[in-house]
Structure 1
Amino acid sequence: MNDLGGLKYFLGIKVARSKQGIFLSQRKYVLNLLAETEMLDCKSADSPIVQNHHLAMHLNQVPTNKDRYQRLVGRLIYLSHTRPDTYAVSVVSQFMHSPSEAHMGMVERILRYLKSSPGRGIMFSKNDHCRIEGYIDADWAGNITDCQSISGYFTFVGGNLVNWQSKKQKVVALSSAEAEYRGMAK
């Protein structure tokens, strides 16, 4: 066995240690993704998705390159290991089987957002407590195609973000309270 020293990179994730804690980021991965898509010189976006986006499957949609779309969304899913802004990625991943130009435009907006903050990641700070805190939110009938709600949650242990997810609920909720309750129960 060889001692290779402290961990610096692991599967494209940079690990930086300091007195404050451990910082995980995928800056190089983001920059390589932007270079591959020729978006290093593009104008950056301030958010990964527009509010009230209403993305859906339409009968008259203009199809886009399915292989390219699936490859880009797959790379964005891998990027979500160190970035908690996963809602936009979960939205575009719903259209992997039949993407349109509008869906590809949303993927490009996510890439422009990544350009504005390529080094963003997760900091695990040293804290003197181990409290567990959880936060959840759900939108009622957020998906315009099937009226299903979308829930998102964050879990903190000792003040550090350790778990997050954004997912469409399996059942149609009849009210916003029911959507919130189902999200919390899940």
Structure 2
Amino acid sequence: MTPPEGYTKAEGGQVCHLKRSLYGLKQASRQWNTEFCQKLLAFGFVQSPHDCCLFVKSQSQSFLALLIYVDDVLITGSDMAEIASLKQYLDSLFTIKDLGAAKYFLGVEIARGDSGTYLNHRKYILDILKDTGLLLCKPAATPFPQGVKLVGMAGTPMVEPDKYRRLVGRLLYLNFTRPDITYCVQQLSQFGNNPYSSHWDAALHLVRYLKGCPSKGLFYSASSPLSLTAYSDADWGSCLDTRKSLTGYCIQLGVV
């Protein structure tokens, strides 16, 4: 680190060798993540090989799951005593702030009741509508216009392709609670490299559809059986550019 202003002992060209990373430096977030992960592993957690932000701790009578996003932590489990013990352990190491039951996390709104838990992206969708200038638009009844199949180089090339990529990226994240738009977003994401006006119009149509149902999401019932349900479909030779087939599937666990 370059010596701060007012420090006169350093000669020209010298830098400070830090014993620990300071908040705000480029390596600070990586050092924080390494330290935090080590403490969780020492407490008995196992890091998921599929998602490095997910940690689980399974015992005979309890199960804990912990999800990390930078310095925000989401904790859930089957034993409140184990959750309280974990909070106390983390507070003794890092001095954490307990915000109580989660209501909003990474754009996902969480509503709880006796009947179950409901997840949606309402505020996230309203932000998309505002950024695209469609907050006061007329809603569309379907995610895509009927009979529309996107092809490459239809219309005129976009002057600002980054605008299209940014919108599609936000829609991809929205898939988490909106499986009804999954197919449409998959179609739009194929043209991020070279978007045309027809692709942008289709993306705006999808945004107009979201305007009509911003609060739609996933409901996890407290009384529904923990059953596994799967659906699949195929559309042979559907791609007009490559004549490739499209297959899709949806797997639900305890979702109504």
> Which bin holds the TM-score, normalised by the shorter protein?
0.7 to 0.9
| Aligned ranges 1:4-83 → 2 under 5 Å | 4-58=99-153, 61-64=155-158, 65-83=160-178
Match of 2:230 among 134, 142, 148: 134
The alignment of Structure 1 onto Structure 2 pairs a total of residues equal to 159
Is 1:119 matched with 2:215?
yes
Query: Aligned to 1:14, what secondary structure does the other structure show?
Result: strand
Query: Aligned to 1:3, what secondary structure does the other structure show?
Result: coil
Q: Does the CA contact (< 8 Å) of 2:168 and 2:203 recur in 1?
A: yes
After superposing on structure 2, the runs of 4+ consecutive aligned residues of structure 1 that deviate more than 2 Å are 127-131
Q: Distance in 2 between matches of 1:18 and 1:150?
A: 39
Deviation at 1:148, TM superposition (A): 1.2
Q: Distance in 1 between matches of 2:238 and 2:163?
A: 27
Match of 2:248 among 152, 156, 171: 152
Higher relative contact order, chain-length normalized (CA < 8 Å, sep 6+): 1
| Counterpart AA for 1:11 | L
Q: Which stretch shifts more, 131-140 or 94-103?
A: 131-140
Q: Distance in 1 between matches of 2:121 and 2:226?
A: 27
| Counterpart AA for 1:148 | K
Q: Percent identity?
A: 40
Could you say which residue in structure 1 is the equivalent of 2:49? none
| Aligned ranges 1:89-104 → 2 under 5 Å | 89-104=185-200
TM-score of the pair, normalised by structure 2: 0.60
Q: Give CA-to-partner distance per residue, 1:126-148, whole Å, 9 cap, x none.
A: 23522212110111111111111
Deviation at 1:32, TM superposition (A): 0.9
Q: Does the CA contact (< 8 Å) of 2:156 and 2:197 recur in 1?
A: yes
TM-score of the pair, normalised by structure 1: 0.81
Deviation at 1:13, TM superposition (A): 0.5
Could you say which residue in structure 2 is the equivalent of 1:171? none
Q: Distance in 2 between matches of 1:133 and 1:13?
A: 24
Q: Distance in 2 between matches of 1:149 and 1:139?
A: 6
Deviation at 1:50, TM superposition (A): 2.3
Q: Does the CA contact (< 8 Å) of 2:115 and 2:223 recur in 1?
A: no
Q: Distance in 2 between matches of 1:125 and 1:31?
A: 26
Larger radius of gyration: 2
| Counterpart AA for 1:88 | C
